[in-house]
């Protein structure tokens, strides 16, 4: 059994809901566009096919996309018999599939830069590095969950947006749901308000599915109900995930996050972003420099291939928006909870942990 398959087997035996894995010589992933009604397992036979799966949202979530980089480079190494140039080209292709989430780009660069030699030597090096990245992502989920749970009080009602859970990470809780799941496992009596998250409905289809599996009480709301729920006293805290954090603490997350943060500030409700140090982009000084992925407008005018608007109507779909750091109470990481001023505190925490 390969090292990477051994890692998968060990964690599946722990009951982790892994969104992508390597098994019996084959890369497999769960088609998240079919959830919650079907849990279709797709076999990925090429890097090109994996890229299409990422761009079409069959697999999504910043943590899961990041580990796609590790699996993708390993797949490329196997299929090219360890050809370093072709492995590099595969990495370049994968990095261009989703421009906003920085985890994928960082993971690909990290593994390609450390790939040594060619042939079987390169395959072995890539596999060992890939397993290390998978273990690191899983450790991040447990660690940031532990730090974040310290912010959660017994009886808290927590709102989250989009899906930042097990299917969006390495199998435990991704980002926001790592915090929520850990607090629940600690015995805290919490209730989650999950936004449906138009237009892909990740909150309704996947977050609600995972909360149900974890046994965590929850209520589904439409995205435009958050202000009402806050004004009526339904919400005590907001915890969301992240796709990229600029060096000044500005947050790129699923579109709609910004308006929830504005409403939270107006009602004096703490607003937290759960992330990992790997998602902090010190090469991007502020959120305005983050490229926001613009997706096909048909994803707004149609759902599951069926039109929900008049034919020919114009639509807009920025997949993410930018939440200014001034609206963020704290950034939960595997290194601890970081607060303002983010410009200095983010670097201090991450640099100290690297010593």
In this model, does residue 268 exceed pLDDT 50?
Answer: yes
Q: What is the pLDDT of residues 210-226, one digit of tens each?
A: 999 999 999 999 999 99
In this model, does residue 9 exceed pLDDT 70?
Answer: yes
What pLDDT, on the 0 to 100 scale, is given for residue 101? 81
Mean pLDDT confidence for 21-36? 94
Parallel, antiparallel, or unpaired: how do β-strands 251-254 and 244-246 relate?
A: antiparallel
Residues 59 and 98: beta-carbon distance below 8 Å: no
Residue appearing with tokens 């980002």:
175
Compute the distance between CA of residue 190 and CA of residue 11 in angstroms, rounded to an integer.
Answer: 27
Q: What is the pTM (predicted TM-score) of this model?
A: 0.95
Average pLDDT, rounded, for the chain: 95
Q: Token pair of 26, please?
A: 């084959």
Residue 305 banded pLDDT, cuts 50, 70, 90: confident
Compute the distance between CA of residue 263 and CA of residue 122 in angstroms, rounded to an integer.
Answer: 51
Mean pLDDT confidence for 96-102? 90
For Cα atoms 239, 204, 240, give the angle at the middle one, nearest 5 degrees.
Answer: 15
What pLDDT, on the 0 to 100 scale, is given for residue 354? 44
Q: Tell me where in the chain the CATH 1.20.120.420 domain(s) lie.
A: 3-141
> How many Cβ atoms are within 10 Å of 160's Cβ, its own excluded?
29
Q: Thinking of the domain 3-141, which architecture would CATH place it in? A: Up-down Bundle (1.20)
Integer angstrom CA distances of residue 46 from 104, 171, 306:
17, 23, 30
Q: What is the pLDDT of residues 173-212, one digit of tens each?
A: 999 999 999 999 999 999 999 999 999 999 999 999 999 9
Q: Tell me where in the chain the CATH 3.40.50.10470 domain(s) lie.
A: 143-354
Compute the distance between CA of residue 327 and CA of residue 264 in angstroms, rounded to an integer.
Answer: 8
Q: Thinking of the domain 143-354, which architecture would CATH place it in? A: 3-Layer(aba) Sandwich (3.40)
Q: Token pair of 113, please?
A: 């830069």
Compute the distance between CA of residue 168 and CA of residue 210 in angstroms, rounded to an integer.
Answer: 11
Mean pLDDT confidence for 46-75? 95
Compute the distance between CA of residue 12 and CA of residue 84 in angstroms, rounded to an integer.
Answer: 31
Which of the residues are catalytic? 243
The number of angstroms, rounded, from the C-alpha of 130 to the middle of its chain's C-alpha atoms is: 18
Closest CA to 332 of 254, 246, 240, 262: 240
């Amino acid at each position: 059994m390969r090292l990477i398959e051994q890692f998968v087997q060990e964690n599946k035996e722990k009951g982790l809901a892994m969104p992508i894995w390597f098994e019996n010589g084959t890369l497999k992933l769960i088609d998240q566009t079919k959830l919650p009604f079907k849990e279709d397992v797709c076999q990925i036979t090429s890097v090109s096919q994996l890229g299409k799966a990422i761009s079409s949202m069959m697999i999504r979530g910043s943590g899961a996309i990041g580990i796609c980089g590790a699996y993708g480079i390993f797949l490329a190494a196997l299929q090219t018999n360890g050809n370093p140039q072709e492995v590099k080209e595969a990495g370049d292709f994968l990095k261009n599939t989703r421009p906003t989430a920085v985890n994928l780009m960082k993971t690909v660069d990290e593994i390609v830069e450390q790939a040594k030699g060619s042939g079987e030597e390169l395959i072995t090096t890539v596999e060992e590095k890939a397993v290390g990245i998978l273990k690191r992502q899983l450790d991040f989920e447990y660690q940031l969950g532990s730090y974040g749970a310290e912010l959660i009080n017994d009886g808290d009602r927590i709102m989250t947006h989009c899906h930042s859970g097990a299917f969006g990470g390495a199998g435990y809780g991704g980002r926001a749901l790592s915090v929520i799941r850990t607090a629940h496992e600690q015995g805290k009596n919490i209730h989650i308000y999950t936004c449906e998250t138009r237009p892909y409905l990740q909150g309704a289809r996947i977050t609600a599915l995972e909360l149900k599996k974890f046994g965590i009480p929850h209520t589904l709301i439409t995205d435009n109900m958050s202000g009402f729920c806050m004004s009526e006293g339904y919400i005590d805290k907001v915890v969301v995930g992240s796709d990229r954090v600029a060096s000044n603490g500005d947050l790129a997350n699923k579109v709609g996050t910004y308006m929830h943060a504005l409403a939270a500030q107006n009602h004096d409700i703490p607003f937290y972003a759960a992330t990992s140090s790997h998602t902090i982009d010190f090469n991007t000084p502020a959120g305005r420099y983050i490229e926001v992925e613009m997706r096909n407008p048909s994803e707004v005018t149609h759902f599951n291939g069926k039109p929900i608007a008049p034919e020919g109507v114009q639509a807009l779909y920025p997949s993410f928006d930018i939440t200014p750091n001034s609206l963020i109470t704290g950034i939960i990481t595997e290194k601890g909870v970081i607060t303002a001023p983010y410009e200095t505190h983010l670097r201090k925490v991450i640099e100290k942990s690297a010593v």
